Amino acid sequence: MATLVELLRDRAQVPDRAVEHLQRLVGSWGMLSDLSFSDLLLFVRSPDGTFVVVGQVRPTTSQTLHLEDLLGREADGEEPALLGQAWLLGSVVEGEVTLGGRGEQVPLGRGERSRMVCIPVRCCGEVVAVLARQAPLVVGRRPGELERVYVEIFDRLARMVTQGTFPFPVEEPLSNEAPRVGDGVMTLDSAARVEFASPNAVNALHRLGVYRGVLGARLDELGIDHSPVPTAFSQLSPASLELERGEVAVFMRCIPLLDQGRATGALVLVRDVTDLRRRDRLLLGKDVALREVHHRVKNNLQTISSLLRLQSRRLPPGDARHALEEADRRVRSIALVHEVLSRDTTDAVDFNEVLPSLVRMAEDMSSPASPVEVTWDGEAGELGAQVATPLALVLNELVQNAVEHAFSARAERARPAHAPQGHSPQGELPPGKVTISFARRGRDLEVEVRDDGAGLPEGFSLEESTSLGLAIVRGLVVGQLGGKIKMYNDSGTVVQLEVPLGQL
């Protein structure tokens, strides 16, 4: 599907400045469509003189006339004549056209007549496109007041389009919470007095505590902060404000209506956003609570870790003491992830924040007789807690294995025969190197832990290994994360992990 910019470039060679103008028009024309209760089409003229549809919007206030996507289609039937006239004259031209001429499906039925108003779009003094409003022919029905007022505002905005003052040169960044025509509409006269207020606008004013008649009054006289109004009138561009009264919040947007460079009135859109704000507050509360939970989990894990350490120190050196030290390290590696989670507002951690402490923990365990240096490269990126926690445990085991098993033989060889165990060798022994690498491939995270030590013992098999460390690694990577593990020798030991992130 071609974008507006592609269509403008490929079909009509529209200059850059005009491209931005048309993009801004299309960015804010939902309001025009809603005010006119009509489908709007944006036509540009290609070099051979044909008119091509580059934009289409349907009203949310009424039924559409076009069931199909018209982007890229050429004008046909009576359309080119009307469009051409508007283009040449530079003023609004109105006529009747037959629907379904391009062979498209139309709700009124093929061959029905509809009204088409062609509004030339001017940018920097030149007509660069034509905005077409298409609506069914209304026979014998008088529009209600609301409809009449809305169409009147549309006509004023259409005049601004023709004069080159709509869209505004600088568009405010609008969230999807910004009010739309259906939310509530007021119009102000040139002295900023309310001329009209739609039922929804009156409701919003009630919520703000305004119960007296609003017609003929200025918003500040009604006791509400009207600051966007003078701003819009003086700066000739839209201004917004969120009004608050206790729990109630109302979003107000004031759009000046200009004629010949002067503000002749304004359109004020209002939306009661109280429920949205309440939801925001709840979400914010949930965020804080979640962080607090992670903080407490971390504290509890640290308490468990200290208990294990205290207990291990009471034991003589040996298997039992070693096992308690290992358990302590495993608990601490989980605590690291909760520590990072307790700092962030999301339920995800940047894993590169967990790594330094994890690595320091392993390096501290290496004996002075065989120093080890752990480095890492690549970005693991943001990982959800459900991946980050097991991954921290797994890396702890793998790095620990390198520290414990890869370099011990070397230290043993370098140790002079008479020196006690753990004593530094006389000659400078370069530290053993362990590298952790991360790479994202598609929806997978690839992790490699590589050391330049002795390599795996002969006859080693991951599947048949019964010791606890690798059983934990297998259980977490294959069982919990649904990933794969490979272990092999390549000038040392290499462990490769593949962890799918998508399905979690």
Ligand X SMILES: Nc1ncnc2c1ncn2[C@@H]1O[C@H](COP(=O)(O)OP(=O)(O)OP(=O)(O)O)[C@@H](O)[C@H]1O
Residues that bind ligand X in the complex, under the rule CB under 6 A: 326, 397, 401-402, 404-406, 451, 453-454, 456-457, 460, 465, 467-470, 493
Distances (CA, A) of 322 to 142, 310, 314, 319: 90, 13, 12, 5
Shortest gap between Cβ of 470 and ligand X (angstroms)? 3
Mention every residue, 6+ apart, whose C-beta is less than 8 A from residue 217.
Answer: 193, 194
Pick 140 or 457: Cβ nearer ligand X:
457
Binding mask 451-490 for Mg ion (x = CB under 5 A): ------------------x---------------------
Is residue 503 helix, strand or coil? coil
User: Closest CB to Mg ion among 56 and 493?
Assistant: 493
State the residue number with the nearest CB to ligand X: 469
Taking contact as CB under 5 A, which single stretch among the options 45-53, 342-350, 394-402, 432-440 is the one that binds Mg ion?
394-402
If the CB atoms of residues 466 and 503 are measured against ligand X, the closer one turns out to be: 466
CB of 323 to ligand X, least distance (A): 7
Distance CA 66, CA 136 (A): 11
Which listed option, Mg ion, ligand X, none, makes contact with residue 328 (CB within 5 to 8 Å by class)? none
Q: How near is the Cβ of 400 to ligand X at its closest, in Å?
A: 7
The CB-of-469 to Mg ion minimum distance in angstroms stands at 3
By beta-carbon proximity to ligand X, the closer residue of 307 and 468 is: 468
- Contact between 240 and Mg ion by CB under 5 A: the answer reads no
Q: Is 493 in the site for Mg ion (CB under 5 A)?
A: no
Burial bucket for residue 261 (CB in 10 Å: 0-12, 13-18, 19+): exposed
Closest C-alpha among 448, 441, 446 to residue 402: 448
State the amino acid at position 210 in one-letter form.
V
Report the largest interatomic distance among the alpha carbons of the chain, rounded to a whole angstrom.
Answer: 113
Which residue in the shown chain puts its C-beta closest to Mg ion? Answer: 469
Dist CA 371 CA 465 (whole Å): 27
Query: What is the size of the binding site for Mg ion (CB under 5 A)?
Result: 2
Contact 134, 116 (CB under 8 A): yes
Give min distance, CB of 473 to Mg ion, in A: 9
Q: Which single residue is written with the structure tokens 């940018």?
A: 123
Question: 454 touches which of ligand X, Mg ion, none (CB within 5 to 8 A by kind)?
Answer: ligand X
Q: Measured from the CB atom, is 134 or 401 closer to Mg ion?
A: 401
- Residue 401 near Mg ion by CB under 5 A: yes
Beta strand pairing call for 93-98 and 432-441: unpaired
* 23: amino acid identity, one letter: Q
Q: How far is the CB of 493 from ligand X (least distance, A)?
A: 4
Q: Please, which residue, 216 or 479, has the CB nearer to Mg ion?
A: 479
CB of 10 to ligand X, least distance (A): 58
Site for Mg ion contains 164 (CB under 5 A)? no
Rounded to the nearest 5°, which phi and psi values hold at 251? -90, 125
Pattern of binders to Mg ion over 418-457, x per CB under 5 A? ----------------------------------------
Specify the pairing of strand 51-57 against strand 39-45: antiparallel
CB of 423 vs ligand X, minimal distance in Å:
23
Distances (CA, A) of 253 to 186, 203, 288: 10, 16, 32
Q: Minimal distance in Å, beta carbon 290 to ligand X?
A: 33
Q: Which of residues 10-29 bind Mg ion (CB under 5 A)?
A: none
What strands lie across the sheet with 93-98, from one edge to the other? 51-57, 39-45, 126-136, 113-123, 93-98
Please give the Cα distance from 393 to 245 (Å, whole number).
51
Strands (E), 295-365: 348-350
Q: Binds 453, which of Mg ion, ligand X, none (CB < 5 to 8 A, cut-off by type)? A: ligand X
DSSP one-letter code for 105 = -
With CB cut-offs between 5 and 8 Å by kind, which of ligand X, Mg ion, none does residue 451 bind?
A: ligand X
Part of the chain binding Mg ion (CB under 5 A), chosen from 158-166, 227-235, 344-352, 400-408: 400-408
Rounded Cα–Cα distance for residues 93 and 404 (Å):
85
Q: Which of 11/329 has CB closer to Mg ion? A: 329
How near is the Cβ of 358 to Mg ion at its closest, in Å? Answer: 15
Question: How far does CA 113 lie from the centroid of its chain?
Answer: 43
Question: Which of ligand X, Mg ion, none binds 485 (CB below 5-8 Å, type-dependent)?
Answer: none
468, interface contact from Mg ion, ligand X, none, CB < 5-8 Å by kind = ligand X
493 binds, among ligand X, Mg ion, none (CB under 5 to 8 A by kind): ligand X
Kindly state the smallest distance separating residue 378's Cβ from ligand X, in Å: 20
CB distance 33 to 26 below 8 Å: no
Q: CB 451 → ligand X: shortest distance, Å? A: 5
Q: How far is CA 481 from CA 153, 237, 387, 399, 474, in A?
A: 58, 54, 7, 19, 10
Distance CA 163, CA 158 (A): 9
CB atoms within 10 A of CB 39: 22
Task: Closer to ligand X by CB, 147 or 460: give it.
Answer: 460
The Cα 395–Cα 388 span in angstroms is 10
Backbone angles phi, psi at 126, to 5 degrees: -120, 150
> Quick check: 366 binds Mg ion (CB under 5 A)?
no
Binding site for Mg ion (CB under 5 A): 401, 469
